[in-house]
A and B are shown apart, each in its own frame.
Chain A
Amino acid sequence: MLKPSLIPARLVSGRASVRGAPGIAIEGGMRIETVPQSARVSPLAGWGRYPRIASEILSVHAPDEAAAGIAGREGVIARGLGRAYGDAAIGACGTLIMTRLDRVRSFDPATGRIEVEAGVSLDRILRDFVPRGFFPPVVPGTRFVTVGGMIASDVHGKNHHCDGGFGAHVETLTLMLPDGSHRTCSRERDAALFFATIGGMGLTGPILGAAFHLRPIETGWITRRTRVATDLAAVLAGLDATADSTYSVAWIDCLALGKDLGRGLIFRGEHASRTELTRSDRHRDPFPEARTGRLGIPFDCAAPTLNRMTVKAFNALYYRRGAKNADGPALVPWHNYFFPLDGLSNWNRLYGARGFLQHQCVVPPANASSVLAEILGRVARLGSASPLAVLKQLGPSEGMMSFPVPGYTLALDLPATPSAFTLLDEIDRVVVATGGRLYLAKDARQSRTTFEAGYPNLAAFQALRRDLGAERSTASHLSTRLGL
């Protein structure tokens, strides 16, 4: 188990300098050092900024360059926008930067079918296609992810209980095999490889492209209904009662204790129709544009920015404001409903330079209320929890290593302090004992025991990786840490 005290030893600052590298300057007066691709080494971290580990950087600018990127190399993983929280997108040796593979290959407005390169961002898709009346079938909590990353993590959205994860909507995906060849697979063709790649954390090889359908929408607005839940039982009952809503999610005040334990707000949502929009009696733009970068955290905050007092105050305020607006429907722009945190760029810096841990588990419905109460109780007692605790219902998923199973998922952030590591180890034991598991895309620290207990398909996945020859060629720090 990695403890925060070990971080400095693993931290590599700056890029490795290359002796004898030819220097050239093209523009301006500055002398720019050119570095052969093979020698660029840079420290990488996930969104949680823990851990930070040096990896060789290999960037891909065209689909046919990917093969050269991994030829003869071992331990390479594809990386998109780096929104996995932990070490999933840090290559064991090399990291393939996929964000320049960002072209849309085709789009059919009659059917909504879109074919893209894997590095295209969800943000770009939304900004191009929402104004044209289309919305992705599933979106996670941030729009700054790539399609490749969404497939590799089989991300879920607020509609998982109805529509499944993003993987459920992927028709075909193209993968690069260890020999550099491209393989397109689907539910009908190479199904085993297809289902191993969905949720497979990039470990079956770099995903190069995919095809899926966007859904038609009449407007870019969401009709949101807020319901107040005064304790955990009310939150769970509320989520069950809103299972017929397309989108639903609960925010939990994870610092509330005693009779308030688990109190929260439930947000339901539906895509608003044209009629609803015009009825709302304002001259609203039917397809509001997402603003970017208006607010941001320009530097690492001092560690105590998010402490028991500030978070408690924020939570109380947020809860009261939600309660005031409850019941009646409200029309909110799509980006406010789905991606509230994207409005604050670099919010991960709120936790300071030491970084933070996100813990996301899913627990089966049977003992959910007692298990979740125990988790929330422990977190509330520790007192260093974040304002970002989210609870939602999940349905089943198809991917061999996909995270979602039927039940409730709870996500919370904790600063990466020694006491948080200890607390999360205890929580993991509770989760595993009830038949739950942790989300790999969020993970930076779970133990192999926890992981193995949560993912019964592990052996089959390892065998598939062996047969594919991907075991050596493809590896991330997550996969080496967990023996994936």
Chain B
Amino acid sequence: MDRTNVLLLVGATSDIGHAVALRYARAGWRILLTARDPASAARNGDDIAARTGASVEILRLDITDTGGFDAFVSGLTPLPDTVVCAVGELGDQGLAQSDAGHAANVIAVNFTGPALLLGRLAEAFERRGTGTLVGISSVAGDRGRGSNYVYGSAKAGFTAFLSGLRNRLARSGVHVLTVKPGFVRTRMTRDMRLPPVLTAEPQEVADAIFMAAQERRTNVLYVRRIWQLVMAVIGAIPEPMFLRLRL
């Protein structure tokens, strides 16, 4: 390697994002982090720099400000080798049902923002002819359920976007990886009782992403493979029966 590889990690305050950036920094990569408020990402940025000695820079980026994406992408010098988009917000399903503003924000943070940003980066990667785009989506997008369909549909949209992008770029030298982590022990899930078999630590997610992104053979990554089975079962339930379930 004659030049240090560069990772752009979108969503630096997320626990998964922090673990992913740390994993790349350990492998000797230079790290660019983004956060809406760079000061709030300093805790994670300092940690990565101190542990690994890597160069870490924090850039300001509001994932809902789609109008600013062109300027952001053209300001990236050099263009990163790999981008991992780890932004996401669970939101409150109950609130999203009654408050369109909240629902719109959940959709913007989980779908329109990440999709459009990766779309802009994909253009630049395609021109260059190399690069890896990683989108952290969710198994929640595999089938809409009453308990979280606003978040779930946004993730479904993101999953479909990544799938289409991958299809389009298949012969361009740009790899697109969709990640469906399943349950992860993070701040997002702090008050939940999670079944241990289905629950990964952020570091486990980060290791899996790094490996899959470097090998460039995996297209859709379920961090714990059991999730693929779980979601296949849920997906196979006929709609009339599905309607009787509270999921």
The answer to whether B247 and A25 touch across the interface, beta carbons within 8 angstroms, is: yes
Residues of B within 8 A of A29 (CB): 143, 145, 230-231, 233-234, 247
B154 shortest CB reach to chain A, Å? 12
Q: In chain B, residues 130-184, which have Cβ atoms closer than 8 Å to a Cβ of chain A?
A: 138-140, 143, 145, 147-148, 151, 181-183
A336 within 8 A of B: no
* Most chain B CB neighbours (cut-off 10 Å) among A23, A27, A61, A105: A27
A232 to B93, CA, bound (A): 69
The answer to whether B191 and A34 touch across the interface, beta carbons within 8 angstroms, is: yes
Residues of B within 8 A of A132 (CB): 53
A24 within 8 A of B: yes
Assess A28 versus B140: contact at CB under 8 Å? Given A103-B47, A107-B50, A128-B51: yes
Residue of A with least CB distance to B233: A29
Residue of A with least CB distance to B195: A30
A367 shortest CB reach to chain B, Å? 47
A178 to B154, CA, bound (A): 43
Q: Mark A27-45, 1 if CB is under 8 A from B, else 0.
A: 1111111111100100000
A61 touches which of B47, B187, B231, B246 (Cβ 8 Å) = B187
Residues of A within 8 A of B191 (CB): 34-37, 40
Q: Mark B193-208, 1 if CB is under 8 A from A, else 0.
A: 1110010000000000
Residues of A within 8 A of B52 (CB): 128
The answer to whether A35 and B50 touch across the interface, beta carbons within 8 angstroms, is: no
The answer to whether B145 and A27 touch across the interface, beta carbons within 8 angstroms, is: no
The answer to whether A28 and B50 touch across the interface, beta carbons within 8 angstroms, is: no
The answer to whether A33 and B43 touch across the interface, beta carbons within 8 angstroms, is: no
A63 to B40, CA, bound (A): 12
B179 shortest CB reach to chain A, Å? 13
Assess A33 versus B192: contact at CB under 8 Å? Given A26-B148, A128-B51: yes
A480 to B88, CA, bound (A): 44
A429 within 8 A of B: no
The answer to whether A28 and B187 touch across the interface, beta carbons within 8 angstroms, is: no
Residue of B with least CB distance to A62: B43
B189 within 8 A of A: yes
The answer to whether A28 and B234 touch across the interface, beta carbons within 8 angstroms, is: yes
A107 to B54, CA, bound (A): 12
B46 touches which of A30, A59, A62, A105 (Cβ 8 Å) = A105
Residues of B within 8 A of A36 (CB): 191
A74 to B34, CA, bound (A): 39
A32 touches which of B138, B194, B231, B233 (Cβ 8 Å) = B194
The answer to whether B90 and A26 touch across the interface, beta carbons within 8 angstroms, is: yes
B188 shortest CB reach to chain A, Å? 8
A106 within 8 A of B: yes
Residues of A within 8 A of B190 (CB): 37, 59, 61
A109 within 8 A of B: yes
Residue of B with least CB distance to A17: B193
A114 within 8 A of B: yes
The answer to whether B53 and A109 touch across the interface, beta carbons within 8 angstroms, is: yes
B207 shortest CB reach to chain A, Å? 13
A483 to B89, CA, bound (A): 46
Q: Mark B18-54, 1 if CB is under 8 A from A, else 0.
A: 0000000000000000000000000110110011110
The answer to whether A31 and B233 touch across the interface, beta carbons within 8 angstroms, is: no
Residues of B within 8 A of A61 (CB): 187, 190
B180 shortest CB reach to chain A, Å? 9
Residues of A within 8 A of B50 (CB): 104-107, 114
B227 within 8 A of A: yes
Residue of A with least CB distance to B52: A128
Residues of A within 8 A of B139 (CB): 27-28
A129 to B52, CA, bound (A): 8
The answer to whether B231 and A103 touch across the interface, beta carbons within 8 angstroms, is: no
A3 within 8 A of B: no
A124 to B182, CA, bound (A): 25
B223 shortest CB reach to chain A, Å? 11
B68 shortest CB reach to chain A, Å? 27
A324 within 8 A of B: no
The answer to whether A34 and B192 touch across the interface, beta carbons within 8 angstroms, is: yes
B193 touches which of A27, A35, A106, A128 (Cβ 8 Å) = A35
A104 to B53, CA, bound (A): 12
The answer to whether B51 and A107 touch across the interface, beta carbons within 8 angstroms, is: yes
Q: Mark A109-131, 1 if CB is under 8 A from B, else 0.
A: 10000100000000010001100
A40 to B148, CA, bound (A): 23
A458 to B72, CA, bound (A): 60
B27 shortest CB reach to chain A, Å? 12
Residue of B with least CB distance to A129: B51
Residues of A within 8 A of B247 (CB): 25, 29-31
A15 within 8 A of B: yes
Residues of B within 8 A of A31 (CB): 147, 246-247
Assess A103 versus B44: contact at CB under 8 Å? Given A28-B183, A109-B53, A132-B53: yes
A29 to B227, CA, bound (A): 10
Residues of B within 8 A of A40 (CB): 191
Known: A29-B247, A32-B183, A63-B43. 8 other contacts (CB 8 A): A24-B148, A27-B139, A28-B183, A28-B227, A30-B247, A32-B189, A40-B191, A107-B50
Closest 10 CB pairs of A and B: A103-B47, A29-B234, A107-B50, A104-B50, A25-B147, A128-B51, A32-B192, A34-B191, A61-B187, A104-B47
**7 A–B contacts, CB within 8 A, in A order:** A27-B138, A28-B230, A33-B193, A37-B191, A63-B43, A103-B44, A128-B52
